[in-house]
Amino acid sequence: MTSQLTITAVEKLQSEITSKTKTFKNKIGIYVSLNKTQKSTEELLQKSGIDTSKMFFIDCVSKEKVREDVLHIPPEDLDKLSTAIQTFIKDIPGEKFMIIDALSTLLIYNNENKVAKFVQDITDYASENQVYVVAFSPKTQGEELLNKIFNFFDTVEKK
């Protein structure tokens, strides 16, 4: 398994996420949504023909609980977010992937070092449990953070 950081222009972000998610076809996925609500993310993915029935959403944008199967975690609570991701990884059997959309959003609520530590914990845990991780970040945001977390990913793609 591997981990990948994709840095792309803001306007291309959604299309990159969609095309990457499509590559995982029948695998079970965890989607950490930091930019959009679960509802709008799911709608966008479904519009692109992606089956979201096998996806577990962690919604860090909306606080309102709409669906029982969606977790709402405030983006400033990185400990809780980390625990939730690790529990999903542990509980979901078989091959799985994880999308983080988008890392730099965490900088609005947390300092760089905390976010860097969070990324390190998540990529380490994912690597130990053979989970494919793809984290996205817009080009213009959080350059300092991106410099700190480059090394935690197996590959870094700049588009």
Q: Enumerate binding residues for other proteins (CB under 8 A).
A: 28, 53-54, 56, 68-69, 71, 79-80, 83-84, 87-88, 91-93
What are 156's strand-pairing partners?
5
- Number of continuous H segments (helices) and E segments (strands) in the chain: 6, 7
Closer to other proteins at the Cβ: 117 or 148? 117
Q: Least distance to other proteins from the beta carbon of 3, Å?
A: 21
For 19, the token pair is 């095309």
Conformation bin of residue 143: beta by default, left when phi > 0, alpha when psi is -120 to 50: alpha
Give the nearest distance from C-beta 86 to other proteins in angstroms.
Answer: 9
Q: Which two structure tokens, joined as six digits, stand for 95?
A: 């091959």
3 SS3 class: strand
The residue (of 71 and 102) whose beta carbon lies closer to other proteins is 71
- Which residue, 34 or 71, has its beta carbon nearer to other proteins? 71
User: What is d(CA 151, CA 42) in angstroms, rounded to the nearest whole number?
Assistant: 30
What does each C-alpha distance from 141 to 70, 75, 133 come to in angstroms?
27, 17, 20
CB of 47 or CB of 53, closer to other proteins: 53
Asked if residues 34 and 77 have their Cβ atoms less than 8 Å apart, the reply is no
Give the nearest distance from C-beta 106 to other proteins in angstroms: 19
Which residue number, 89 or 146, has a Cβ lying nearer to other proteins? 89
